Chain A
Amino acid sequence: MEKLGFRSIKPWKNSPMISNSSLLALLPTQASTLASDVDLITIALVLLCGAVTFGLMSAIAFFVVRYREGSVVDRSPVRGVELKLEIFWSTVPLLIFICLFVWGAERYLEMHSVPAGASEIYVTAKQWMWKFQHANGTQELGELHVPLGRPIKLVMISQDVIHSFYVPAFRMKQDVLPDRYTYTWFQATKPGKYRLFCTQFCGTEHAAMGGDIIVLPEAEFQQWASIGVSQVSLRGSGDYVKQGQTVFERHGCISCHGSDSVVRAPSLNGLYGSRVFLDNGDSLVADENYIRESVLEPEVKIVKGYENIMPSFRGQISEEEMVSLVEYLKYSKTMSIKSMEKERGGRE
């Protein structure tokens, strides 16, 4: 069993205090591209809500004092202003709310659009730890090293219950579901060590399921990546795509999905990111979840023109193998199945 650099149960005990922003220590550090945007909305909201609260409380206090029982002031009723006031204090808040809504929705949709060229890291959550797999095969447990200034896409899955991946300094959060990949992305703007929390109740040690994100400037990151603090190579093959190819051959996928015979099964060349047409008239863009579902529950989505004959591989492929298979198919744009077959044919 290779040494994996196992984290202690209470990760924050060993990490230094994270320095908070100086705003009276009320905001966490801003360490991602989106953090300052989110804080801007928050501060605007605090000012707006503070003003409204202060205004209302002052008005109430003023009225309570001025119009207290027995005070001698003018109480003659004011007429004709009711409807105007109602319309005013209905529509003005509504307009403000719409502005807030649009602002928040725009940023949110940005959070859901992964920039092109993002490096991918696979995250597996399980009770009660986080596992990270870099594209080059490096595995980390409980802490994740990332380079500064580059967009990082996280492809996440849980091995048991729902968890949630939360880094306050990045202002990012995404639930991690069993049996389905969820995605999020961030781009770190400040080197340092930032707390990672699990924030969806997941059982007894939910509170201990923490970790750290370690942001290193590019050069240091490359240095780390080549030596690594806690690094493990996968079964000797060194990178995911090659391992995925092994999985693809070992489980016999190539016998139906080899590009020479597209009669029994559709070709997988260039599958990832392409539009797939199903037999029920629907169509979709092939992503990690589609690949995963097709391997584990092939009968759910049948490609148009094909029969429902693909067997399920549930129980035969581990999560790590699934990740490598997905990676292999993603890069099959650059590495076509035909050339791979020729290779094998050549060796035999």
Chain B
Amino acid sequence: MGSPLNAGVQPQEQFKSIEQQHEAATQGMWIFLATEILFFGGIFLAYFIYRRSYSIGFERMSEMLDSFLGTLNTAILLTSSLTMALSVRAVQLEKKGSLILFLVLTLIFGVAFLTIKGFEYSEDFKNKLVLGPSFPFHGLEAVHMEMFLLIYYVMTLIHAVHLLVGICLVSLMVVKTVRSRCLPALYSPIEVIGLYWHFVDVVWLFLYPLLYLAGRPHI
């Protein structure tokens, strides 16, 4: 999307046009997302390798996770991607009110996700699903169950950190939108943040079945 959407906006000093700046920002975000895929890729690889060898332990542990909360969170995050896409559309149509509405909704859904996740962690701790000496299971598959738990915590924590960064960025956009007198200047940042948000959602879409649905015949 080129000049009609952000015509008249001053580019940063190093760029010769706003289109060039927008293209650079978009390309930069795609490259960053590629690095994130490689980052998550390492732990996905570990998951797949060990799941194959230790399927019984992994499935046993997976069944102990709260799949209701996991599913609820999936629905929330998917909806937040919808509101994020709608905010991109709102800034394209220069509708400030809609833009603020959809950005705030995205924020609310993001925070809701983190809150539910936090609540889920506290439930996990109450059920003693913790690593280290307090791990309640012993014997045959305990080692493998603990390994699954480790992967679960690492994956979901890293995901949560990424989501938190997304929330901060969206909050920043809300503030900027409220203060803005020239909406087209926000087009590029919002689209780029939208890309990031969708990526965080996509990562969850992979995490959810691998962690919560492993070996379950039913939810």
Give me the interface of A with B, judged by CB distance under 8 Å: 280, 298-300, 308, 311-312
Contacts and interface: CB of A to CB of B under 8 A. Distances in A.
Contacts of B53: 300
A311 B55 CA distance: 17
B63 interface: no
Interface string B35-71: 0000000000000000001111100000000000000
Nearest to B57: A299
A300 B54 contact: yes
B144 to A, nearest CB: 8
Nearest to A314: B143
Contacts of A299: 54, 56-57, 140-141, 144
Chain B contact surface mostly: helix
B5 to A, nearest CB: 46
Contacts of A308: 56
Nearest to A301: B53
Interface string B3-14: 000000000000
B139 interface: yes
Contact of A312 (B54, B55, B56, B140): B140
A311 B140 contact: yes
Nearest to B55: A280
Q: Which of A280, A298, A299, A311 has the most CB of B within 10 A?
A: A299
Given A280-B55, A299-B141, 10 more contacts: A298-B140, A299-B54, A299-B57, A299-B140, A299-B144, A300-B54, A308-B56, A311-B140, A312-B139, A312-B140
A312 B56 CA distance: 15
B214 to A, nearest CB: 15
Nearest to A282: B52
A170 to B, nearest CB: 34
A312 B53 CA distance: 16
A202 B41 CA distance: 29
A179 to B, nearest CB: 12
Q: Which of B139, B140, B141, B144 has the most CB of A within 10 A?
A: B140
**Contact residues on B (Cβ < 8 Å of other chain), bracket:** under 10
A178 to B, nearest CB: 15
A214 B144 CA distance: 43
Contacts of B141: 299
Interface in B136-180: 139-141, 144
Nearest to B56: A299
A298 B56 CA distance: 11
Contacts of B57: 299
Nearest to A298: B140
Contacts of B55: 280
A308 B60 CA distance: 14
Q: Which of A298, A300, A311 has the most CB of B within 10 A?
A: A300
Nearest to A309: B140
B165 to A, nearest CB: 37
A26 to B, nearest CB: 42
A241 B57 CA distance: 34
A300 B56 CA distance: 8
Contacts of A298: 140
Contacts of B56: 299, 308
A280 B140 CA distance: 19
Contacts of A300: 53-54
Per CB-CB distance, the 6 closest pairs between chain A and chain B, nearest first, are A299-B56, A300-B53, A299-B140, A312-B140, A299-B141, A308-B56
Contacts of B140: 298-299, 311-312
12 contacts: A280-B55, A298-B140, A299-B56, A299-B57, A299-B140, A299-B141, A299-B144, A300-B53, A300-B54, A308-B56, A312-B139, A312-B140
A296 to B, nearest CB: 10
A308 B139 CA distance: 13
Contacts of B139: 312
Interface string B126-144: 0000000000000111001
Nearest to B139: A312
A312 B141 CA distance: 9
Contacts of B54: 299-300
B141 to A, nearest CB: 6
A299 B139 CA distance: 11
A308 B56 CA distance: 10
Contacts of A311: 140
Contacts of A312: 139-140
A295 B115 CA distance: 44
A311 B138 CA distance: 12
A298 B141 CA distance: 10
A185 B53 CA distance: 29
A141 to B, nearest CB: 32
Nearest to A300: B53
A280 B52 CA distance: 10
A314 B53 CA distance: 18
A308 B141 CA distance: 11
A298 B53 CA distance: 11
A307 to B, nearest CB: 11
